[in-house]
Chain A
Amino acid sequence: MRTEDLIKALDADISSKAMPLRSAWWLAAGMAVVVAAAVFWMTIGPRPDFMAAAHTMRFLAKFVFTIVLAASAFAFIRVLSTPGASTARALAWMAAAPLLVAVAVALELFMVPQALWGTRMVGSNMMICMGFIPLIGIGPLAIFLWMLRYGAPTRPVLAGTVAGLLAGGLAATFYAAHCFDDSPLFVATWYTIAIAALALLGALGGRFFVRW
């Protein structure tokens, strides 16, 4: 087939419509929140003393970390799924959540006596943390990988990894409402491991599933 002939076929198909990628991403984000919320409420739900805990700095800080991670990953993945879009600024924002956690860890180490560092870090339910963050995040991750297929990521493995971080940030935001371990030492350790597991899964999805 000559290129000239191919152009005739493409031209005849111009009237077919598809949702603009930007709108599709917001729709996908909404669906992912609904899926994550449903799994969260059907399984663990918020902790009983949620209202009292909401007055403590450490509890609230957890949401700052996870929401900043989700928001920066959402901005980054939208850029990554658009060919030719500049990634520099969105990439820089990805440092925000890790920096906030690092500052919180430093403050915690400063305020808490050294003898308690170990117990704060190990916490009381790290296995639940490592199980439920991936469980809540797996549905959203599937939605985001589908979205990457709908988009056109020129770096699919990186985009898949960011899909995992986005799903992880979202899942951790819900999980944080359940978790009794509020110390930044716990968050920096176990949340990170759980989110990294989703990021790894996302990278694999990007490698093998995101084709276009």
Chain B
Amino acid sequence: MSGKDEAELSRLMRAAIAGDEKAYADFLHRIAALIRGFVRRKIVQGGVDPEDVVQETLLAIHVKRHTWRQDAPVLPWVYAIARFKLIDAFRRRGRRIEIDVDDIAETFAEPETETVSERDVHRALDTLPPAQRSVVSAISVEGHSIGETAAKFGISETAVRVSLHRGLAAIAKRFGRQ
């Protein structure tokens, strides 16, 4: 991980917070790959699926993005959240592990690609109220836009945005420390 990546990712995140969807998608893809590399390196024994931690971390990054100070580097913030969610994932599954809090291994995390299996985030999606669930599914799994989703369900775009926002917040909350 070089200073150039840090500068680029911070720039993307600033653009995203200003409302640039393309910059945000780019940021999330790159961050997801980095977190995946970090998490896989940290999980040496089984019991926790790395991809679950990747998704829970992305959700937390999303709902807590107002905690990033735009004049601070973005990667220490990202890795602090990833480490917290990783420890949480172990704790939730009743496993005690030691994670080196000041580990610098993350500095050398290499981007990695996803493996496919059943996901905790998907199971959490099933617990949402029907309206929120169908909106979140339409946009994520089916890949519709806000406008297409509004037309599909015959509701306003604002209603779609509200359902999406509340649905994501509710899913993120389910992964809060038990």
Binding site for B on A (CB under 8 A): 1-16, 18-22, 24, 81-85, 151-152, 154, 156, 210-212
Q: Known contacts A21-B69, A85-B77; can you find 7 more A-B pairs with CB under 8 A? A: A1-B141, A8-B139, A12-B21, A14-B16, A84-B77, A152-B64, A212-B173
Rounded to whole angstroms, the CA-CA distance of A1 and B114 in the bound complex is 12
| Residue contact A7 to B67, C-beta cutoff 8 Å | no
Known: A10-B28, A10-B168, A11-B21. A84 touches B140 (CB 8 A): no
A-B contact count (CB 8 A): 127
Rounded to whole angstroms, the CA-CA distance of A5 and B139 in the bound complex is 8
- A85's partner among B21, B32, B72, B83 (CB-CB below 8 A) is B72
Question: Looking at chain A's contact residues, is the secondary structure mostly helix, strand, loop, or mixed?
Answer: loop
Known: A14-B21, A84-B79. A152 touches B140 (CB 8 A): no
Known: A1-B122, A12-B139, A84-B76. A7 touches B84 (CB 8 A): no
Known: A3-B58, A7-B58. A154 touches B66 (CB 8 A): no
Can you list 8 pairs linking A and B with CB atoms under 8 Å apart? Answer: A3-B114, A6-B58, A12-B161, A15-B161, A81-B67, A82-B67, A83-B80, A84-B80
| Residue contact A211 to B177, C-beta cutoff 8 Å | yes
| Residue contact A10 to B165, C-beta cutoff 8 Å | no
- A9's partner among B19, B78, B136, B176 (CB-CB below 8 A) is B136
Rounded to whole angstroms, the CA-CA distance of A84 and B83 in the bound complex is 10
| Residue contact B58 to A14, C-beta cutoff 8 Å | no
Binding site for A on B (CB under 8 A): 16-17, 19-21, 24-25, 28-29, 32, 51, 54-55, 58-60, 62-69, 72, 76-81, 83-84, 114, 116, 119, 121-122, 125, 136, 139-141, 143, 145-146, 161, 164-165, 168, 172-173, 176-178
Q: Which residue of A lies closest to B28 (CB)?
A: A7
| Residue contact A14 to B24, C-beta cutoff 8 Å | yes
Interface centre among A6, A22, A156 (most CB of B within 10 A): A6
Closest CB of chain A to B79's CB: distance in Å? 7
Rounded to whole angstroms, the CA-CA distance of A85 and B75 in the bound complex is 11
- A13's partner among B84, B116, B168 (CB-CB below 8 A) is B168
- B140's partner among A1, A20, A210 (CB-CB below 8 A) is A1
Rounded to whole angstroms, the CA-CA distance of A210 and B177 in the bound complex is 8
| Residue contact B84 to A83, C-beta cutoff 8 Å | yes
Rounded to whole angstroms, the CA-CA distance of A82 and B81 in the bound complex is 10
Give the top 6 A-B pairs by smallest Cβ distance, nearest first: A211-B176, A83-B80, A84-B76, A84-B80, A9-B140, A1-B122
- A10's partner among B17, B58, B72, B161 (CB-CB below 8 A) is B58
| Residue contact A22 to B32, C-beta cutoff 8 Å | no
- B83's partner among A1, A21, A82, A154 (CB-CB below 8 A) is A154
